[in-house]
Every structure is written in C-alpha cells, then in structure tokens.
C-alpha cells in the first residue's frame, strides 16, 4: 500500500488508521474539516502525511482536496480510500429536527459516495495514471445490520452504506477498484464525548425522555467501558486495504459472540421486545395510558 486517503483523520479510528499506515510506510492523506486540525496532524505526523481540509458534505471542497492529492501523487494512482468521517446525533425520530437527520445522512451516507465518486479517477478510473487500482474501505458499524432505537438517522445511513458499497463494488469492476466494508462493534472513540455533550433536554416533555436518557447512557457506557480500541480497528482496516484476497465485509468486535453473532441470530421480534424492555418501553403502553390522562 503506497498511499491512502482517510477521512475523519483528526481523531478516533481515522487518527489510529493514519498513524498505522504511516508506520507501515504509506503516504497518507488525512482529510479534516478545520485548518487547526490539519496543522496539528501535519506537525505530529511529518512529511509523509498530507492534510486535506474538506467537508465530506461539500462537493466543491472535496474536489479541491482531490486536485491537491493528484498533484502530490505525481501521476501515480491512489492506493486506498477509507471513508471514515462520521456524525452521530441521537434522538427520537418523531421529534428530532429534520436538519439533524439530514446532516447525519449527508455525512455518513452521501459523504462516502461523494468522496468515492470524486476520487475514483485517482483510484484507477483515470487510465493515464500509473500504478495498480486502489481499494475503497467504507466504515459501517454493527448499526449497519441492527437498528438501535434513538440512533435512527445514523442507522439509516449505515444500512444504506452497506447497500451502496455493494453497488459501487460492482460498478467499479471495469476499473479494478474493490470496495470493502469494515463494520466494527462498539468502539471506544471520542464520538462518545460528542454524543454525551449534546442537548437532550428538548425532549423532556415527550414520551421518550426517560427511554432516551437510558438508551444514550447505555451506549456511552458500552463504548467507553467495553469498546474496541481504535488501534485494533485500524489493524482490520489495514488488512482490508492490503490483503491479497480481502473479505467483502469485516466485523471486528471486542465481544464478537454477543455483539455480532447473537444479535444477528435473534429473531427480530424477540430483539424488539428485548430492547423495549431494557429501555422501559412496552407495547401499547402510551395508547392505553392516554384515555386515563384525559
């Protein structure tokens, strides 16, 4: 792997992957949203790291980043692209502002599509470039298969990313560009600080106030106390980028039987009941309670 672009490189899985790729000798392009993040990473990582400042939701800035990367590659193909940038804003779908839902879909689903589309020429769609075609690694999650409540927009994006990855992989066959999914279980990353800091008091007057508080608390605790280290996920990403015959989907987990096998195997109705019970939500409770309240 000669070169790789990693979005969301400022922290968490993206940072760990950039660090590992540099240790393995790759030229790394790290996409971040702010100039101060770019300056910090450039100072820390050295000359083989090139920061690119763009927002995965903004086509114009992505194109500027692509031009900069093309120039730095000097006529060679880009070896890999890791679509890692993420946004997670929990909330009950009946009450969550539409803009928050759109922002998550734009970042977590349309973002990987836009970056893949714009960087596809560097990955091998441009026949004038020298070198083997590159690979795309799309970062999904256990949420790409399991629909946790109060993370609906995030879940919808990850479900969509799973299907998008299959479609892109098949469309990119003529160029030799492979598309691989890495879908971790719970990971201990700074995203939990982001989740914890969000204002959920706006839902205080809704039926979901207590279940939401419980659900978010459970997610944060699981992430911080039982999550994989980002460096372990980075190792899986590196395998997806470099293996001679990579799997189509990797699912690294600290507790694979519980997080992956058991949840996948459970009947969906049983999983509904288990999640509802855990969060204090029982079927029809609000409908039955309403006449008495009136």
Please identify every residue annotated as catalytic. Answer: 154
Residue 164, burial from CB neighbour count under 10 angstroms (0-12, 13-18, 19+): buried
| Tokens representing residue 282 in the block | 């029982």
* DSSP per-residue letters across 103-155: HHHIIIIIHHHHHHHHHHIIIIISTTSBS---EEEEE--GGGTS--TT-HHHH
In terms of DSSP bridges, do strands 80-83 and 49-53 run parallel, antiparallel, or are they unpaired? unpaired
Contact 229, 188 (CB under 8 A): yes
Residues in the chain: 294
Q: b/e string for 210-249 if b means 16 or more Cβ within 10 A?
A: ebbeebbeebbebbeeebbebebbbebbbbbbbeeeeeeb
Contact 82, 6 (CB under 8 A): yes
Centre a 10 Å sphere on the Cβ of residue 201 and count the other Cβ atoms it contains: 7
Centre a 10 Å sphere on the Cβ of residue 265 and count the other Cβ atoms it contains: 10
């Amino acid at each position: 792997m000669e070169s790789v672009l990693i979005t969301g490189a400022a922290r968490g899985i993206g940072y760990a992957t950039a660090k590992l790729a540099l240790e393995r000798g790759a030229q790394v392009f790290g996409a971040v949203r702010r100039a101060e993040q770019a300056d910090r990473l450039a100072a820390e990582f050295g000359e083989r790291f090139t920061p690119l400042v763009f927002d995965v939701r903004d086509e114009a800035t992505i194109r500027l980043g692509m031009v900069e990367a093309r120039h730095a590659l000097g006529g060679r193909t880009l070896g890999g692209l890791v679509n890692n940038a993420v946004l997670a804003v929990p909330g009950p779908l009946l009450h969550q502002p539409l803009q928050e839902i759109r922002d998550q879909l734009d970042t977590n689903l349309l973002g990987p599509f836009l970056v893949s589309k714009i960087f596809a020429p560097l990955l091998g769609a441009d026949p004038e470039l020298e070198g083997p075609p590159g690979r795309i690694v799309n970062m999904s999650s256990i949420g790409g298969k399991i629909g946790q409540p109060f993370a609906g927009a995030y879940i919808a994006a990850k479900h969509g990313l799973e299907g998008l990855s299959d479609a892109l992989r098949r469309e990119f066959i003529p160029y030799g560009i492979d598309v691989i999914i890495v879908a971790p279980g719970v990971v201990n990353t700074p995203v939990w600080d982001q989740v914890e800091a969000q204002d959920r008091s706006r839902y205080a007057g809704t039926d979901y106030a207590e279940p939401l508080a419980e659900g978010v608390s459970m997610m944060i605790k699981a992430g911080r106390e039982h999550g994989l280290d980002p460096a372990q996920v980075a190792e899986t990403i590196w395998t997806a980028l470099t293996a001679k015959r990579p799997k189509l989907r990797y699912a690294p987990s600290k507790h694979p039987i519980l997080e992956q096998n058991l949840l996948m195997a459970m009947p969906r109705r049983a999983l509904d009941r288990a999640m509802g019970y855990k969060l204090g939500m029982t079927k029809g409770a609000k409908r039955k309670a309403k006449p008495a309240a009136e």
